[in-house]
Structure 1
Amino acid sequence: MSNRFPFMPLVAFLVGLPCGAGCLSLRVDIRRDTGALDNLSASLGKDSLSERTMATLRTEGLDSEWKSRPGFAVGQLFRTTVDSPTADRLFALSEMHHQMAGAWRVPPDEVLRHHYLCAGFAHHYLLSASAEAAAEDERRATLAPADAFDPRFRLACDLYNHALSRALVILRAMKVSRPGDAIRVDSADGGTLDVSLQDCGLSIPPHEVGAVHLASEFSVSGLSTQVVGYGLGVPLVVERRRDPKRVEKLYLSTMSVPATAYLNFSDDLSSLGHCQAVTIELHDPRRTRGFRVRDRMVPLQRNLTAPLAYGLADSGLERLSLKGFFRGDLLADGGQLLLLEPYEKGKIPVVLVHGLLSSPVTWTPVVNDLMADPEIGRNYQFWVFVYPTSQPFAVTASQLRAELDRVRKRVDPDGSDKAIDRTVLVGHSMGGLVSRMAASDSGEAVWSALSSRRLDELALDADTKQAISQVVYFKPHPQVARVVFAATPHHGSVLANTALGRVGRALARPPSKLMERTRTILRQAPGVLGSDLASRLTSVDSLAPDSPFILAMSEAVVPSVPYHTIAGILPPASRGVRAESFLLGSDNELYGDGVVPYVSARLDGAQSEVLVMADHTTVHHHPRALAEFRRVLRLHMRESESILPVSGTRKGQP
Structure 2
Amino acid sequence: MRLISGGYRRRLYTVGVLTFLALLLSGCAGVKIATVSTEDYIAQRRGDILTTRKLSASARDTLTSLAIVPEQCAKDIPHCTTRLTELWNLDTEQRMATLAEIWTQEALRLQGRRNARPEFAVELFDAYLQSARYAYAYLFFTDRRPGDRAFEDRQTQVRDYYNYSVQQATMLLFAKYHDTSFAFQKTIEIGKWRIRGDLTQVRGDSAPPPHELIPASQLTFRGVRSIYRRDGFGAEMVVVNDSENITPSIFQTTYSEPPFQAVTGIITFPGETLSQVLQTRDATIIGYDPYQQNSVQLKDVQVPLAANFTSAYGLWLARSDFSTQALRTVLGRDGGIESPHVFLLQPYDPDRRVIIMLHGLASSPEAWINVANEVLGDEELRSRYQIWQVYYPTNLPLPYNNAEIRKALKETFQHFDPNRTAIASNNIVVIGHSMGGVLGRLLVSSSDNLLEDAARDRYQLDDVSVAQMNKEFGSVVHFSPLPGVTTAIFIAAPHKGTPFAGNRISRLAAALITLPVTVVTQLNKLSQVAVGNTPAKEEMLILPNGVESLRDSDPFIQITSKMAISTQVRYHSIIANDTPKKDLLYSDDGLVPYQSAHLPGATSELVIPFSHSVQETPEAILEIRRILREQ
TM above 0.5, yes or no, is yes
CA distance in 2, matches of 1:519, 1:432: 28
Q: RMSD over aligned Cα, in angstroms?
A: 3.2
Q: CA deviation at 1:376?
A: 2.0
Residue of structure 1 in register with 2:309 after alignment: 304
Residue of structure 2 in register with 1:363 after alignment: 368
Q: Deviations over 1:384-420 (max 9, x none)?
A: 2222111221211111222222222222223332531
User: Which residues of 2 match residues 161-560 of structure 1 at below 5 A?
Assistant: 161-175=163-177, 179-180=184-185, 182-186=187-191, 192-199=192-199, 201-202=201-202, 207-211=207-211, 212-241=213-242, 247-252=251-256, 255-265=259-269, 266-327=271-332, 334-452=339-457, 457=462, 460=465, 464-526=469-531, 528=534, 534-535=541-542, 537-560=544-567
CA distance in 1, matches of 2:453, 2:572: 28
Contact 1:228/1:301 (CA < 8 Å) preserved in 2?
Answer: yes
Q: Deviations over 1:21-40 (max 9, x none)?
A: xxxxxxxxxxxxxxxxxxx9
Contact 2:255/2:412 (CA < 8 Å) preserved in 1?
Answer: no
Q: Which amino acid aligns with 1:596?
A: V
Contact 1:250/1:339 (CA < 8 Å) preserved in 2?
Answer: no
Residue of structure 2 in register with 1:87 after alignment: 93
Per the alignment, do residues 100 and 455 of structure 1 end up closer, same or farther by CA in structure 2, a change over 3 Å counting? farther
Q: Which amino acid aligns with 2:86?
A: R
Q: Which amino acid aligns with 1:256?
A: F
Residue of structure 2 in register with 1:117 after alignment: 130
Q: Which of residues 622, 628, 635 in structure 1 aligns to 2:630?
A: 635
Structure 1 SS opposite 2:507: helix
Q: Which of residues 592, 603, 615 in structure 1 aligns to 2:588?
A: 592
Q: CA deviation at 1:566?
A: 0.7
Q: Which amino acid aligns with 2:220?
A: S
Verify: 1:569 aligned to 2:588, yes or no: no
Q: Which amino acid aligns with 1:248?
A: Q
Per the alignment, do residues 68 and 393 of structure 1 end up closer, same or farther by CA in structure 2, a change over 3 Å counting? closer
Q: CA deviation at 1:332?
A: 6.6
Per the alignment, do residues 493 and 612 of structure 1 end up closer, same or farther by CA in structure 2, a change over 3 Å counting? same
Contact 1:370/1:630 (CA < 8 Å) preserved in 2?
Answer: yes
CA distance in 2, matches of 1:368, 1:144: 34
Q: Which amino acid aligns with 1:168?
A: T
Structure 2 SS opposite 1:220: coil
Structure 2 SS opposite 1:281: strand
In structure 1, stretches of 5+ residues that fail to align are 1-39, 135-141, 187-191, 574-585, 637-654
Verify: 1:614 aligned to 2:610, yes or no: yes
Contact 1:335/1:399 (CA < 8 Å) preserved in 2?
Answer: yes
Per the alignment, do residues 609 and 572 of structure 1 end up closer, same or farther by CA in structure 2, a change over 3 Å counting? closer
Per the alignment, do residues 528 and 196 of structure 1 end up closer, same or farther by CA in structure 2, a change over 3 Å counting? farther
CA distance in 2, matches of 1:204, 1:601: 46
CA distance in 2, matches of 1:208, 1:202: 12
Structure with more relative contact order (C-alpha pairs < 8 Å, separation 6 or more): 1
Contact 2:258/2:346 (CA < 8 Å) preserved in 1?
Answer: no
Q: CA deviation at 1:477?
A: 2.1
Q: Which amino acid aligns with 1:174?
A: K
Structure 2 SS opposite 1:525: helix
Structure 2 SS opposite 1:605: coil
Higher alpha-carbon deviation: 232-241 or 442-451: 442-451
Look at both structures and tell me which one has the larger radius of gyration over its CA atoms: 2
Q: Which amino acid aligns with 2:382?
A: G
Per the alignment, do residues 157 and 397 of structure 1 end up closer, same or farther by CA in structure 2, a change over 3 Å counting? same
CA distance in 1, matches of 2:236, 2:542: 54
Per the alignment, do residues 547 and 605 of structure 1 end up closer, same or farther by CA in structure 2, a change over 3 Å counting? same
Q: Which amino acid aligns with 2:214?
A: H
Q: Which amino acid aligns with 2:229?
A: V
Residue of structure 2 in register with 1:647 after alignment: none
User: Which residues of 2 match residues 28-47 of structure 1 at below 5 A?
Assistant: 43-46=50-53
Contact 2:73/2:79 (CA < 8 Å) preserved in 1?
Answer: yes
Residue of structure 2 in register with 1:22 after alignment: none
Q: CA deviation at 1:143?
A: 3.6
Q: CA deviation at 1:430?
A: 0.7
Higher alpha-carbon deviation: 248-257 or 219-228: 248-257
Contact 2:49/2:104 (CA < 8 Å) preserved in 1?
Answer: no
Q: CA deviation at 1:434?
A: 0.9
Residue of structure 1 in register with 2:81 after alignment: 74
Structure 1 SS opposite 2:221: strand
Q: CA deviation at 1:122?
A: 2.0
Q: Deviations over 1:415-439 (max 9, x none)?
A: 3325313222111111111111121
Structure 2 SS opposite 1:314: helix
Q: Which amino acid aligns with 2:598?
A: R
Per the alignment, do residues 623 and 588 of structure 1 end up closer, same or farther by CA in structure 2, a change over 3 Å counting? closer
CA distance in 1, matches of 2:460, 2:426: 31
What TM-score results when the alignment is normalised by the length of structure 1? 0.78
Q: Which amino acid aligns with 1:110?
A: E
Q: Deviations over 1:291-333 (max 9, x none)?
A: 2334433222211111112223333433332111101786676
Higher alpha-carbon deviation: 63-72 or 419-428: 63-72
Q: Which amino acid aligns with 2:161?
A: L
Per the alignment, do residues 259 and 205 of structure 1 end up closer, same or farther by CA in structure 2, a change over 3 Å counting? farther
Q: CA deviation at 1:111?
A: 1.6
Report the number of matched residues: 566
Q: Which amino acid aligns with 2:100?
A: S
Structure 1 SS opposite 2:447: coil
Q: Which of residues 42, 48, 55 in structure 2 aligns to 1:49?
A: 55
Q: CA deviation at 1:525?
A: 3.3
What TM-score results when the alignment is normalised by the length of structure 2? 0.81
Q: CA deviation at 1:154?
A: 2.0
CA distance in 2, matches of 1:419, 1:167: 37
